[in-house]
Structure 1
Amino acid sequence: MMDFILLMGDPKSGGGSFQLIFLGLMIVVFWFFMIRPQAKKAKEQKSFIDNLQKGDKVVTIAGIHGVINKVNEDNTLSLEINPGSYIKIEKSSISMDWTAQLNKAATADKK
């Protein structure tokens, strides 16, 4: 029983310092494994969206494949889905992951 009191701190002597350190470590671990990767992914997504240009082959989050025909100033794109068929979509609806897979497959086919 005495060992347990030594590890956890004696409640009579204000042994909350261990709990405070443990809470701080939990916050650091939570930030390192949850918040930091999510912020990094959001930054990559924003960079991807900002660098879209005419002629890029893309896939939307709805699974529509097409080629960017025009980048509009109101955060929309004109996407050519078939020769002569265009749709207007939001830039944010482009899937970074699926577009990367599409372009990766296209470069692998060329080799």
Structure 2
Amino acid sequence: MEELMGFLLPLALMFAIFYFLLIRPQQKRQRERNQMLANLQRGDKVITIGGLHGTIVDLTEEKVILKVADNVRLTFERSAVNAVVNDDK
């Protein structure tokens, strides 16, 4: 019985450390990203995962249309948005 506890205790401890250092933070980042994508609105200034800066002019459940220059609008998947930029400078 002691041999079994001597084997299982370090294994359980390694799993707990793995969970708190890797799995839990990743789940938190994913929740925050999903919330950011769900809260996108017209007029938001965003950066895509490719590094393109633009302003949302229209959006649907799957697509986002960005204005990147005068008379230039590009359509992206909503999931291509990497970040919303706050220009509070």
Query: Structure 1 length normalisation: TM-score?
Result: 0.75
Runs of at least 5 residues in structure 2 that lack an aligned partner in the other structure: none
Give the AA of the match of 1:76: K
Match of 2:44 in 1: 56
2:79 counterpart (92, 95, 99): 92
Q: Where in structure 2 are the equivalents of 1:1-111 lying within 5 Å?
A: 15-73=3-61, 75-96=62-83, 99=84, 102-103=85-86, 106-107=87-88, 109=89
Runs of at least 5 residues in structure 1 that lack an aligned partner in the other structure: 1-12
Tell me the secondary structure at the aligned position of residue 41 of structure 2. coil
- Superposed CA offset, 1:41-99 (max 9, x none): 000000000000100000101111000000123x1101100021101001111112xx3
Identity of aligned residues (%): 34
- Superposed CA offset, 1:5-59 (max 9, x none): xxxxxxxx76131110110011011001100000000000000000001000001
Give the AA of the match of 1:66: G
Give the greater-gyration-radius structure (CA). Answer: 1
Give me the whole-angstrom Cα distance separating, in 2, the residues matched to 1:18 and 1:44.
39
Structure 1 segments, 4+ long, off by >4 Å, are none
Q: Which has the higher helix share?
A: 1
Q: How many residues align?
A: 89
Tell me the secondary structure at the aligned position of residue 46 of structure 1. helix
